[in-house]
Amino acid sequence: MSEPLILPLTGLKCDGCVRSLTRALEASPAIETATVTLDPPQVYIIFSGPPLSWEECIALIKKSGFDIA
């Protein structure tokens, strides 16, 4: 099992943002669980197999309208 990835986020303003980003990340077959929090604004990603690269994770986050802090 791969190590979880924790990334600080910007652009999260409400619970709707949290749900939206969680759904977008968990739609990826490579991500088993994405736990997004407002305080602190971050995402904790557990991969279902070989992990995505940082760049791939950041691209998914940016595609959802958010960014890395």
How high is the pLDDT of residue 25? 98
How high is the pLDDT of residue 60? 97
Block means of pLDDT (10 residues each) for the chain, 69 residues, are 91 96 97 97 96 95 96
Retrieve residue 39's tokens: 């305080």
**Considering its fold, how many domains does the chain have in total?**
1
> 14-45: b or e for each residue (b if 16 or more CB lie within 10 Å)?
eeebbebbbebbbebebbeebebeeeebbbeb
How high is the pLDDT of residue 56? 96
pTM of the full structure: 0.93
- Domain CATH for 56: 3.30.70.100
Task: Tell me the residue range of the domain where 27 lies.
Answer: 5-68
